[in-house]
């Protein structure tokens, strides 16, 4: 690769660029270095947190019951922290820098502040991890008061959050620079719009985190005597759940980005897709209520309005993406010549390309497992049957592992050739990786949801209650579910381990990418047979997408059936009033 590092001086600030051989875009080398650093840190914490997750799954498996009780609670705390927060936010920083500087063909605002943010995040993540591993902070990721952790547990989280906030401001600053310096024409691309959504939600999230973690830290130090338990949960979850909405926006942006890169897919309607993102900005933050549905001290009116994201308007946003993304893929594939029957476009999609396979599996698993279960779980009365059971981690492993993590893995297969400028080594192994991981993650989600439906508690070391004064047994089917969950955990760990090994080896030893091999390095793409069947987008009547209509109908039918089954179960419960 000939790094033609041009020095461009704009407004007294020198930035060095290379020209991307695939797109011809100017790539700011400072942005590129920051993307690399954040992505590497993310993957390291994914490996650590994923290993903790495997230990949790093997302990939950009654026949194996690997860890002692205190180790189990310690490892579970670290698992939640490292994957739910550290892996995902580090990777999101890389996504924000990519979606601003790289896609907009622009220099990154204040790269030095970016490094400061990176350092704060790294120090914060390490500080909290060390505090947990020392053994006095097994308070779970949520650290509900009045249970108390040492001050450094909270301090590490605060530092991490401040670092992430700096990254958000750099993203916003880069958008301003790109506009000022006219590096693009018209409106920002949809993917950048999605990243902007993620960034806005991130700022809200981090502010909520500061509002609750700073007083809790002072309480842990002894300067504050009392933290209200309900208020803590309300504000903590404005961080804890909203941070998952950052993922949501970032992963939807990736769902649009990968088909765009590999198939040339365009959104069916810019207006509709952007409006759907706008619904996220306006309504997704109400999700704190999902954790408050069986709490004392909060009115039903508040619960019903907030848990439904204001009459399900944010769910509407997701359902819109759920049609417009497969629709964009179908339209692109039909334009590429795959017009036979209803599903040739899908059959002949690049299933051997891990970026595409990961992206599509992530979309399907998120929608069917994570989305539907989330709405059901978040229904005020149905939550009485499911609150704090294993159904809850079942749901969010479908969203965060099968959804977000798989989407982030998928885009990594494109970031390695484009940003690290290396070929993926062992492409045959890489081809299988998303399937292994997706299957494992789907199993984890389904079997935990199954166990939760049978009443099994989450965050619980011993479902046989062998040390309890009063005996109790969960139904035998619950034991089967947790055994299958253990097997799925092993499968997901193999898939996740393969990902880490393939990416690390590619970055270190992969063949260099230049103009001669950059297209091949992106993995297999369908043979293009350009035709004019679908020449314009965004105007009514120019395209017909029967495959997408069928997929969406299947999804909606599953949604409605599952929703009513749960109301039926609820109606059989003891009467509560």
Distance in Å, CB of 213 to another protein, minimum: 18
Among positions 327, 358, 450, 486, the unique one binding another protein when judged by CB under 8 A: 327
Among positions 389, 412, 445, 488, the unique one binding another protein when judged by CB under 8 A: 389
Among positions 151, 169, 172, 381, the unique one binding another protein when judged by CB under 8 A: 381
Q: Is 577 in the site for another protein (CB under 8 A)?
A: yes
Q: Is 570 in the site for another protein (CB under 8 A)?
A: yes
Three-class SS of residue 540? Answer: coil
Among positions 20, 95, 375, 492, the unique one binding another protein when judged by CB under 8 A: 375
Among positions 62, 110, 151, 229, the unique one binding another protein when judged by CB under 8 A: 229
Among positions 299, 476, 532, 535, the unique one binding another protein when judged by CB under 8 A: 299
The maximal CA–CA distance of the chain, rounded, in angstroms, is 74
Interface segment toward another protein; rule CB under 8 A; list 122-130, 236-244, 323-331, 485-493: 323-331
Query: For another protein, which is the closer residue by CB, 257 or 425?
Result: 257
| Euclidean distance between CA atoms 244 and 271, whole angstroms | 25
Q: Is 380 in the site for another protein (CB under 8 A)?
A: yes
Strands (E), 448-545: none
Among positions 387, 395, 397, 422, the unique one binding another protein when judged by CB under 8 A: 387
The answer for residues whose C-beta is within 8 angstroms of residue 489's C-beta and 6 or more apart is: 53, 54, 56, 57, 58, 61, 440, 444
Query: For another protein, which is the closer residue by CB, 499 or 559?
Result: 559
Q: Is 388 in the site for another protein (CB under 8 A)?
A: yes
Q: What are the helix (H) ranges across 284-390? A: 300-307, 309-335, 344-347, 354-365, 372-377, 383-386
Distance in Å, CB of 88 to another protein, minimum: 22
Q: Is 323 in the site for another protein (CB under 8 A)?
A: yes
Interface segment toward another protein; rule CB under 8 A; list 3-11, 208-216, 300-308, 359-367: 300-308
Angle at 104 between CA 100 and CA 107, to 5 degrees: 70
Cβ proximity of 217 and 158 under 8 Å: yes
Both tokens of residue 441? 């993650």
Among positions 128, 242, 247, 308, the unique one binding another protein when judged by CB under 8 A: 308
Among positions 29, 66, 203, 304, the unique one binding another protein when judged by CB under 8 A: 304
Which residues 49-108 are close enough to bind another protein by CB under 8 A?
69-70, 73, 103
| Euclidean distance between CA atoms 511 and 423, whole angstroms | 5
Query: For another protein, which is the closer residue by CB, 159 or 287?
Result: 287
Q: Could you tell me the strand order of the sheet in which 26-28 lies?
A: 6-10, 13-19, 26-28
Distance in Å, CB of 436 to another protein, minimum: 28
Total number of residues binding another protein (CB under 8 A)?
104
Q: Is 360 in the site for another protein (CB under 8 A)?
A: no
| Euclidean distance between CA atoms 119 and 163, whole angstroms | 7
Query: For another protein, which is the closer residue by CB, 223 or 472?
Result: 472
Among positions 4, 7, 527, 571, the unique one binding another protein when judged by CB under 8 A: 571
Angstrom CA distances, 272 to 95, 269, 528, 539, stand at 23, 5, 27, 12
Interface segment toward another protein; rule CB under 8 A; list 126-134, 236-244, 430-438, 545-553: 545-553
Which residues 129-148 are close enough to bind another protein by CB under 8 A?
138, 140, 144, 146-147
Residue found under tokens 């961080």: 239
| Euclidean distance between CA atoms 197 and 31, whole angstroms | 20
Which residues 255-284 are close enough to bind another protein by CB under 8 A?
256-257, 259-261, 264-272
Which residues 446-475 are close enough to bind another protein by CB under 8 A?
454-455, 457-462, 465, 467-472, 474-475
Write each residue from 167 to 206 as x if it is in contact with another protein (CB under 8 A), else as -, in one continuous string.
-----------------xxxxxxxx---------------
| Segment holding 260, helix H or strand E | helix 242-263
Angstrom CA distances, 294 to 144, 243, 286, 456, stand at 15, 22, 16, 17
Distance in Å, CB of 63 to another protein, minimum: 17
Interface segment toward another protein; rule CB under 8 A; list 87-95, 199-207, 239-247, 539-547: 539-547
| Euclidean distance between CA atoms 143 and 139, whole angstroms | 5
Closest CA to 573 of 354, 386, 317, 351: 386
| Euclidean distance between CA atoms 568 and 556, whole angstroms | 19
Three-class SS of residue 14? Answer: strand
The answer for 9, left when phi > 0, alpha when psi is -120 to 50, beta otherwise, is beta
Distance in Å, CB of 570 to another protein, minimum: 5
Q: Is 438 in the site for another protein (CB under 8 A)?
A: no
Query: For another protein, which is the closer residue by CB, 206 or 328?
Result: 328
Judge if the upstream peptide bond of residue 146 is cis by omega within 30 degrees of 0: yes
């Amino acid at each position: 690769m000939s790094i033609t590092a041009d020095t461009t001086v704009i407004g007294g600030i020198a930035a060095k660029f290379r020209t991307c051989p695939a797109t011809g875009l100017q790539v700011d080398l400072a942005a590129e270095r920051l993307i690399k650093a954040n992505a590497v840190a993310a993957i390291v914490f994914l490996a650590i947190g994923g290993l903790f997750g495997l230990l949790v799954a093997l302990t939950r498996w009654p026949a194996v019951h690997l860890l002692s009780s205190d180790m189990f609670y310690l490892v579970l705390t670290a698992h939640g922290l490292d994957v739910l927060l550290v892996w995902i936010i580090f990777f999101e920083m890389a996504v924000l820098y990519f979606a601003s500087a790289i896609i907009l063909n622009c220099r990154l605002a204040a790269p030095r502040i970016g490094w400061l943010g990176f350092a704060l995040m790294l120090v914060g993540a390490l500080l909290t991890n060390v505090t947990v591993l020392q053994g006095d902070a097994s308070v779970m990721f949520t650290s509900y008061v009045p249970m108390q952790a040492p001050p450094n547990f909270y301090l590490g989280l605060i530092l991490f959050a401040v670092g992430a906030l700096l990254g958000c401001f750099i993203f916003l600053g880069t958008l301003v620079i790109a506009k000022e310096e006219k590096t693009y024409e018209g409106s920002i691309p949809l993917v950048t719009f999605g990243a902007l959504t993620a960034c806005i939600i991130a700022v809200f999230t981090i502010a909520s985190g500061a509002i609750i973690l700073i007083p809790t830290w002072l309480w842990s130090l002894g300067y504050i005597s009392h933290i209200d338990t309900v208020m803590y949960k309300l504000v903590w979850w404005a961080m804890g759940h909203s941070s998952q909405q950052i993922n949501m926006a970032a992963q939807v942006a990736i769902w649009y980005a990968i088909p765009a890169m590999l198939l040339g897919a365009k959104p069916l309607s810019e207006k509709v897709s952007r409006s759907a993102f706008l619904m996220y900005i306006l309504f997704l933050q109400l999700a704190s209520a999902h954790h408050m549905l069986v709490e004392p001290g909060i009115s039903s009116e508040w619960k019903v309005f907030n848990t439904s994201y204001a009459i399900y308007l944010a769910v509407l946003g997701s359902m819109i993406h759920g049609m417009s993304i497969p629709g964009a893929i179908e339209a692109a594939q039909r334009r590429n010549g795959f017009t036979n029957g209803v599903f040739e476009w899908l059959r002949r999609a690049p299933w051997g390309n891990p970026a595409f396979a990961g992206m599509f599996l992530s979309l399907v698993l998120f929608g069917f497992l994570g989305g539907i279960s989330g709405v059901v779980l978040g229904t005020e009365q149905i939550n009485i049957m499911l609150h704090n059971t294993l159904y809850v981690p079942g749901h969010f492993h479908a969203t965060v592992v099968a959804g977000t993590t798989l989407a982030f893995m998928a885009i990594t297969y494109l970031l390695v050739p484009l940003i690290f400028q290396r070929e993926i080594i062992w492409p045959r192994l890489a081809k299988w990786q998303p399937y292994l991981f997706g299957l494992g993650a789907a199993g984890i989600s389904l079997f935990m949801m199954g166990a939760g439906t049978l009443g099994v508690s989450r965050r619980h070391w011993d479902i046989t209650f062998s040390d309890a004064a009063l005996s109790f047994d969960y139904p035998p089917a619950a034991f089967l579910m947790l055994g299958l969950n253990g097997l799925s955990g092993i499968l997901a760990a193999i898939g996740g381990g393969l990902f880490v090994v393939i990416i690390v080896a590619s970055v270190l030893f992969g063949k260099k990418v230049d103009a001669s091999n950059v297209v091949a390095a992106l993995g297999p793409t369908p043979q293009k047979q350009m035709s004019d069947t679908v020449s314009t987008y965004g105007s009514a009547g120019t395209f017909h997408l029967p495959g997408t209509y069928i997929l969406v109908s299947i999804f909606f039918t599953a949604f409605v059936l599952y929703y009513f089954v749960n109301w039926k179960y609820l109606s059989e419960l003891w009467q509560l009033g």
